[in-house]
């Protein structure tokens, strides 16, 4: 904090930064979730980032195909973007 003389960005600066770097935020969220799944930190049944949630498969009878998994990934990208 002493390096920047206690300078704090206001809400508009932060909002503009998020708006200007939207693709980077989406890629970062995706990479973080992928890393956590790979590292075994999360099971991947339910992922919530900044209030966004993806739907989990609740029944063991339902199997997820590769096509359905890609569709869920697209939905997750849309939710992250929101």
* Alpha-carbon dihedral angle through residues 23, 54, 57, 45, given to the nearest 10 degrees: 80
Reported pTM: 0.44
Q: What's 21's DSSP letter?
A: T
Residue 70: pLDDT band with limits 50, 70, 90 = confident
| Residue 48 pLDDT greater than 70, yes or no | no
Which pLDDT does position 52 carry in this prediction? 56
Q: What is the DSSP letter of 64?
A: -
Beta strands in the chain (DSSP E): 48-49, 52-53
> Greater confidence, 64 or 35?
35
pLDDT at residue 20 in the model: 94
Domain-by-domain residue ranges, the chain?
32-56+65-82
Between CA 18 and CA 63 the distance in angstroms is 36
The answer to whether 52 and 78 are in contact (CB under 8 A) is no
């Amino acid at each position: 904090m002493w390096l920047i003389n206690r300078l704090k960005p206001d809400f508009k600066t932060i909002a503009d930064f998020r708006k200007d770097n939207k693709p980077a935020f989406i890629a970062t969220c995706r990479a973080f979730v992928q890393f956590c799944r790979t590292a075994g930190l999360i099971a991947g049944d339910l992922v919530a980032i900044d209030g966004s949630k993806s739907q989990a498969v609740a029944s063991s009878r339902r199997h997820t195909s590769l096509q359905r998994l890609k569709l869920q990934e697209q939905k997750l990208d849309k939710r992250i973007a929101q």
